[in-house]
Amino acid sequence: MVFMFIRRRMFKNMFKSGCLVRTFHVILTWITTLVLFLHNTDLRKCQERGDLFQPVVFSSVVLLSVLMYFTVSLMDPGFVLSDSDTEGTSADSNEELEKMIPQDLSSVKQRRCGYCFKLQPMRARHCKTCKCCVRRFDHHCPWIDNCVGERNHKWFLLYLCVQFVAVSWGLQASWSGVVSAPTWQQWFTQNGFLLGAFALTAVFSVVVLLLLCIHLYLASVNSTTWEFMSRQRILYLKHRDSEENPFDRGLVCNLWDFCCVCGTVAWERIYIRHTNGAK
């Protein structure tokens, strides 16, 4: 039943308004790549010399970035299931869901979402665009038309890494193909497409680098964009010291959990353990 819910969500994600964004992303990516190979760039020079290593690797990185884009865009970010969605799950799944609510609720106030009326686990938030609560909600990304949450945050970070390699390499390749001309008008005419590719990859390089640094930092301290930006409005954080993060277990453990732990995490238990340990 859970897998049917996820498949329905992915099907809806594929064919709603985000389809236009994804189509635009793919077209823009491959047009830029085509411009780099049709002009006298380093990639074209290697191809003409018969040295296919760089062109093949670059094309593979671009293809991988597109595949990673669709993976992050279409996968389940960690949608909170309703009671009707969990009735057909296995015994192990039900046991896991029951363990999400700790027995000691003295320091944790459970709440129901004001939009979908589902019981929200700690660190979950309702996304008005996706119309569903998302576990360990980070943000809703309009470029992928999907939320970034507990299930796909690591894949989003991996996508940013691959995308940064692709756009920074494209930035260098586009500049390598710019040629000189006797007049400014001839220079712009001869290099117009390359200059467009250079400007596009330069903007994306800066944006992707900033996002990559931000999410690497958030992963290293076990925080999210929502928690970082809206700390004073979050029930389980607003009464704590501004520098205190109840989910921070140290750099190594945070990165290990972020990259290697799969499945649902009982953040309530971690929160209570930290609270009891601080007393």
pLDDT at 46: 94
Lowest mean pLDDT among 86-100, 137-151, 260-274: 86-100
Question: What Rg value do the Cα atoms of the chain yield, rounded?
Answer: 23
Q: Which of 113, 141, 213, 259 is catalytic?
A: 141
Q: Which residues pair with 125 in a beta bridge?
A: 134
Closest CA to 191 of 43, 54, 44, 38: 38
**Span 7-22, mean pLDDT?**
63
Q: Which long-range contacts (CB under 8 A, 24 or more apart) does 147-151 make?
A: 147/77, 147/78, 148/72, 148/77, 148/225, 149/77, 149/78, 149/79, 150/77, 150/78, 150/123, 150/264, 150/265, 151/75, 151/76, 151/77, 151/78
Share of the chain above pLDDT 90, in %: 60
Chain segment 234-247, per-residue pLDDT in tens: 988 888 887 889 99
> Between 11 and 92, whose confidence is greater?
11
Answer for the pair 147, 12: CB distance below 8 angstroms, yes or no.
no
pLDDT exceeds cutoff 90 at 5: no
Judge whether 147 counts as a catalytic residue. Answer: no
Chain segment 78-110, per-residue pLDDT in tens: 999 865 444 444 444 444 444 444 444 445 566
pLDDT at 94: 41
**Span 166-180, mean pLDDT?**
95
Mean pLDDT for all residues in the chain: 85
pLDDT exceeds cutoff 70 at 142: yes
Phi-psi region at 234: left, alpha or beta (left = phi > 0; alpha = psi -120 to 50): beta
DSSP H helical ranges for 107-221: 153-176, 184-221
pLDDT at 220: 96
Strands 119-120 and 139-141: unpaired
Domain spans of the chain, in order of start: 2-278
